[in-house]
Structure 1
Amino acid sequence: MAIWFLIWALITALSAFTLKLALGIISGTRNRNRAVGFFHPYTNDGGGGERVLWCAVKAIQEEIPDLDCVVYTGDHDASPQSLTARAVDRFGVKLLYPPKVVHLYKRKWIEETTYPHFTMIGQSLGSVYLSWEALCKFTPIYYFDTSGYAFTYPLARMFGCKVVCYTHYPTISLDMISRVRERSSMYNNDALIAQSIWLSRCKIIYYTIFSWMYGFAGSCAHLAMVNSSWTESHIEKIWKISHRTKRVYPPCDTSGLQVLPLERPSKNPIIISVAQFRPEKAHTLQLEAFSVALKKLDADLPRPKLQFVGSCRNKSDEERLQNLKNKAIELEVDGDVEFYKNLMYRDLVRLLAGAVAGIHSMTDEHFGISVVEYMAAGAIPIAHNSAGPKMDIVLEEDGQQTGFLACSVEEYADAILKIIRKPETERLQMAAAARRRAGRFSEQRFYEDFKAAIRPILSK
């Protein structure tokens, strides 16, 4: 029902737009403001995407100080001052001056709860409706999407904007289509569909049509920055604008974390997990692997602790966190597991400073900022054997192993045990190599590559 209403609303909006265009109301450069409008409806999600937002704002402010930076947000309590303070408190990013704020009131149209079925197409069409509200309220010269809403790009171009995006993760990838074709059950492919040949074929058709629409929308970007080799390969295949696609690794606070001592307390070694409490982060797998590792633990070894650190965006995330706590009780490891929600950045650094290992379990994680943070802080990473961690991050440095890659519960459990069993000298050697590797993804490197990518667009 929501999707049909949305389609009707978009047709109505497009008709109104066409009329305004014919009258010359929004055509021409005279009605566009000399500003960069950052389309980021959730400015309180606390994830890597929000860090990119604030670093991108800072980079623009440094590159062209007299160019206004405006943030489109659906968080109604957000103000220039609160967002500036949040950038510092949560991410350690000091903006040169507060950004302007444009509040959006139609954010429900991009929330997954609005679309129990056909969520992907619903949210994509909803983003167009939301960007219509944004661009009608404030039309900048440069429209910058930092949240992955590619369907908004054609509309932004119709408003006369130069469209720039930073894509963390393709809305649909060739891997997703392959999983449906292979009938693999996953968080984005319901078991009921995976078990049915007919439903799987219908979903393949749906994904194929959506992939074409996504490719057309994405191709409207004047500049597409991507955060990893994996994302780059998918975007180039779907959007087909390789000449306008630039790989810019996301900003990781390696400098602030690299000053932490590599030595860690030997009693109760800490394994940390830093990720938003979202389904794709696969926290349950981590918990089950930790439980298996405890059962296999040698009697003479210290008993480890597992610390979950993450943010909750909404009620669904809160419920997911509670379910995780219940699962810990069910597995009888609740005494060895700690949960930290919506921490300040300085508190996260304190926890990273005490961890011997960091665990990550998202399949096809586009990049994996948390994995880099583990490595920079001196915590040996145990990451999922796919996409960003596999292709860009957990690679050898000067011939030295920098961490572990795993897929199954058993593989994660074995990696945990290998780290706990390592002699201190060997652990320090691996941690030092991982820290050197993390230096390739520094915040300073992001600023350099980001500015180099946007200069040709901003100079036009």
Structure 2
Amino acid sequence: MDSWIMVLLITLLAFVIGTVIAAAVFLMMAGSLPRVRKGVVAFFHPFADGGGGGERVLWCAVKAVQDACPKAQVAIYVREGVTAEHLVRDARSRFNIHIEKPIQVIPLRRTHLVLPERYPRFTLLRQALGSVALGLEALRQLVPEVYIDTTGWAFPYPFAWRAGSRIIAYVHYPTISSDMLGRVWSGTATYNNDADIAESPIKTSIKLLYYHAVAWWYGLCGCVTSVTCVNSSWTRDHIQRIWFLGRAPVLVYPPVDTSELLQLPLDRKLKQLYLVSVNQFRPEKNHRLQLEAFALAKRAAGPTLQGQAVREAKLKFIGGCRHADDEARLTALQQYAEELGLADCVEWIVNAPFSELKAQLGGAVGGLHTMTDEHFGISVVEYMAAGAVPVAHRSAGPKQDIVRPVLEDDGSEQVTGFLAITVQEYADAITRVLTMDQRDRLKIAAAAQKHAKSFSTERFLQDFTAAIAPVLPH
């Protein structure tokens, strides 16, 4: 016990000393930055050419700024080697977003400093420090009148604020949340809390102290924003608890491109019953749970016609592999499917174009989502827009914002999908979706499609513009 207390005291002392040093460095570095460039709005988005949901938010935000403030010069801090022409072309081809006015690119050489794979230990702290170094690299080249962060790296905010910028944050996912702290406190082993730490009271105590210190730093950085936008109710609740804000964050749902999916017919000819799972092959997406639930549903299927429908149904995984780790994870999932006896009824569609995704969604009866605390859940919205009944995790964005009942014209409530947590709950929901009467399915699909329209690009542009207009250059 004495050694345990000693470790905690040493850790606390190191934190206090580190705080004093950091404050001194902050004052020194902030004072050496150039003057504010009036009329410039700069977006901090180091991987603006990534092509994901975060980049769609970026380009819609750029369009909102240019429409609301035509005379403003828009700049983007982005990794070295990416040109403005490439970014504008990418926005048009990937997202159908047309950036009419010119943008300026501020190249960043050290974007590797925020990559998690670079830091096998103390990932959170070292990424945070890396983001500070990257933010300073950006600000040494240009201090804008308005600094907009669309990546979630709050740690450079105080430097931009001290240099004279007004800060706008669009937060997709809190860097650290009370849920993360709760899982460490309870000793739960997850993808961001190793089993050897979860099983050790000493290591758990040290990690809690470490997380609380980072959370305190994160909260201080967030308090300098002029406008804080969040992408979901769950993110809003956590930011409100962790950031030292004097006002509530503004909820601005991300712009989901559902226009083509909404044109898919609901009353489709289901030649082959199948479910889809649209997610990158990343650990937090928890594809193993989907396989286990699908296998359990098949084992529990009875001898009736409905049971036969479950036994003959397929599950199609549609996802992207970013690098070798994702590819290794995909191989492990394929082997696990074989172990569960699912090899003949599971299909893997990797790095598919949108046309293939649309075709698969157009024939699916339902869609699976199993990530705990998904901040929003774009794939769930895509299921609903396409008329596939969602079965999503009962947490965060899907629970609070997306898979919610809608009011019908007669005043009654109509469900838009199902929520689950355990393997058994998922298996029951899968069975229900696969054996549902066509008329009941159409009612759910129609209500889900109606609700999916709440997350449109037009809604984002309207709400984001209203939130940021007061702090844009005049």
- The letter of the residue matching 2:117 is T
Q: For each residue in 1:150-183, what CA deviation from the matched residue of structure 2 results, as whole angstroms up to 9, or x when unmatched?
A: 1011122133221111101111111111111111
Structure of greater Rg: 2
Which stretches in structure 2 are left out of the alignment for 5+ residues?
A: 1-17, 408-412
What does residue 413 of structure 1 align with? 427
Q: For each residue in 1:296-338, what CA deviation from the matched residue of structure 2 results, as whole angstroms up to 9, or x when unmatched?
A: 3455316222222233333333332333233333333233333
Q: For each residue in 1:235-280, what CA deviation from the matched residue of structure 2 results, as whole angstroms up to 9, or x when unmatched?
A: 1111131526211111122333212111233222231222222221
Counterpart contact for 1:90–1:344, Cα < 8 Å:
no
Structure 1 CA distance for aligned equivalents of residues 83 and 279 of structure 2: 26
**Alpha-carbon offset, residue 459 of structure 1:** 4.9
1:146 equivalenced with 2:173 (yes/no): no
**Alpha-carbon offset, residue 394 of structure 1:** 0.8
What does residue 309 of structure 2 align with? 301
**Alpha-carbon offset, residue 220 of structure 1:** 1.5
Q: How many residues align?
A: 447
What does residue 442 of structure 2 align with? 428
TM-score w.r.t. the length of structure 2 is: 0.87
1:17 equivalenced with 2:26 (yes/no): no
Structure 1 CA distance for aligned equivalents of residues 349 and 139 of structure 2: 37
1:377 equivalenced with 2:386 (yes/no): yes
Task: Flag the 1:172–1:179 CA change in 2: closer, same or farther, 3 A.
Answer: same
Structure 2 CA distance for aligned equivalents of residues 144 and 313 of structure 1: 27
Structure 2 CA distance for aligned equivalents of residues 242 and 94 of structure 1: 36
**Alpha-carbon offset, residue 93 of structure 1:** 2.8
What does residue 471 of structure 2 align with? 457
1:125 equivalenced with 2:129 (yes/no): yes
What does residue 320 of structure 2 align with? 311
Q: For each residue in 1:323-356, what CA deviation from the matched residue of structure 2 results, as whole angstroms up to 9, or x when unmatched?
A: 3233333333233333333333343323222222
Counterpart contact for 2:172–2:375, Cα < 8 Å:
yes
**Alpha-carbon offset, residue 113 of structure 1:** 1.7
Task: Flag the 1:15–1:417 CA change in 2: closer, same or farther, 3 A.
Answer: same
What does residue 350 of structure 2 align with? 341
What does residue 209 of structure 2 align with? 205
What does residue 40 of structure 1 align with? 45
- The letter of the residue matching 1:395 is R
Q: Which moved more, 1:241-250 or 1:165-174?
A: 241-250
What does residue 444 of structure 1 align with? 458
Which stretches in structure 1 are left out of the alignment for 5+ residues?
A: 1-5
**Alpha-carbon offset, residue 10 of structure 1:** 8.1
1:87 equivalenced with 2:99 (yes/no): no
Structure 1 CA distance for aligned equivalents of residues 318 and 92 of structure 2: 19
What does residue 254 of structure 1 align with? 258
What does residue 68 of structure 1 align with? 73
Structure 2 CA distance for aligned equivalents of residues 66 and 342 of structure 1: 40
Identical aligned residues as a percent = 46
Q: Which moved more, 1:447-456 or 1:156-165?
A: 156-165
1:325 equivalenced with 2:324 (yes/no): no
Task: Flag the 1:34–1:459 CA change in 2: closer, same or farther, 3 A.
Answer: closer
Structure 1 CA distance for aligned equivalents of residues 102 and 350 of structure 2: 27
Structure 2 CA distance for aligned equivalents of residues 34 and 117 of structure 1: 41
**Alpha-carbon offset, residue 14 of structure 1:** 5.1
Q: Which moved more, 1:240-249 or 1:290-299?
A: 290-299
1:102 equivalenced with 2:106 (yes/no): yes
Task: Flag the 1:283–1:96 CA change in 2: closer, same or farther, 3 A.
Answer: farther
3-state DSSP class of the match of 1:353? helix
Structure 1 CA distance for aligned equivalents of residues 204 and 441 of structure 2: 46
3-state DSSP class of the match of 1:243? coil
Task: Flag the 1:45–1:336 CA change in 2: closer, same or farther, 3 A.
Answer: farther
What does residue 286 of structure 1 align with? 290
**Alpha-carbon offset, residue 135 of structure 1:** 1.8
3-state DSSP class of the match of 1:323? helix
What does residue 359 of structure 1 align with? 368
What does residue 395 of structure 1 align with? 404
1:178 equivalenced with 2:182 (yes/no): yes
Counterpart contact for 2:49–2:87, Cα < 8 Å:
no
- The letter of the residue matching 1:453 is A
3-state DSSP class of the match of 2:269? coil
Q: Which moved more, 1:83-92 or 1:249-258?
A: 83-92
- The letter of the residue matching 2:320 is S
Structure 1 CA distance for aligned equivalents of residues 97 and 421 of structure 2: 34
Structure 2 CA distance for aligned equivalents of residues 126 and 141 of structure 1: 24
TM-score w.r.t. the length of structure 1 is: 0.90
1:266 equivalenced with 2:270 (yes/no): yes
- The letter of the residue matching 2:59 is W
Q: Which moved more, 1:152-161 or 1:390-399?
A: 152-161
